[in-house]
């Protein structure tokens, strides 16, 4: 339903990330961009409306006022909607798609030495 709504609203660069084994906060994360704050806000409102209509429950939403980055908590699914430049700055895809081995290599005690 979330992906269909984003497709209907012409979201750009839609990415889904499975969170199983990475986090207990949700099973899936969806990240997408809108071309403007107005489009981001519209996409967020439509997802909230569809969840209410299809499942009879309200979502928790943050960031709708400025619509630079809107977070929608649907329960098992977390949706992040961004304006493109904000999405590029935070790079959530990179953070959440890191493999555990890569994270383990980057702990402070195993970090590469800094140049003098």
Reported as a single tens digit per residue, the pLDDT across 72-103 is: 999 899 999 999 999 999 888 887 765 444 33
Instruction: Check residue 20 and give its pLDDT.
Output: 78
Low-confidence ranges of the chain (pLDDT < 70): 97-116
Instruction: Check residue 90 and give its pLDDT.
Output: 86
Instruction: Check residue 22 and give its pLDDT.
Output: 75
Check if the beta carbon of residue 27 is closer than 8 Å to that of residue 77: yes
User: Count of H helices and E strands in the chain?
Assistant: 5, 5
Q: CA 97 to CA 84: how far, in whole Å?
A: 19
Q: Residue 80's Cα: distance from chain center in Å? A: 3
Instruction: Check residue 102 and give its pLDDT.
Output: 37
**Closest listed residue to residue 79, CA positions, set 23, 39, 33, 22:** 33
3-state secondary structure of 29: strand
- Tokens encoding 9: 């609203």
**Closest listed residue to residue 92, CA positions, set 13, 24, 3:** 13
Instruction: Check residue 97 and give its pLDDT.
Output: 66
Instruction: Check residue 25 and give its pLDDT.
Output: 83
Instruction: Check residue 93 and give its pLDDT.
Output: 82
Question: Could you tell me the pTM of the whole model?
Answer: 0.80
């Amino acid at each position: 339903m979330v992906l269909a709504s984003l497709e209907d609203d012409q979201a750009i660069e839609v990415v889904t990330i499975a969170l199983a084994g990475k986090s207990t906060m949700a099973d899936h994360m969806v990240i997408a961009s809108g071309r403007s704050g107005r489009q981001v806000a519209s996409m967020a409102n439509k997802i909230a409306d569809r969840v209410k209509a299809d499942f009879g429950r309200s979502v928790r939403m943050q960031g709708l006022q400025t619509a630079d980055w809107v977070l929608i908590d649907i329960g098992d699914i977390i949706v992040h909607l961004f304006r493109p430049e904000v999405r590029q700055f935070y790079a959530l895809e990179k953070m959440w798609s890191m493999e555990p081995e890569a994270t383990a290599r980057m702990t402070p005690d195993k970090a590469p030495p800094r140049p003098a």
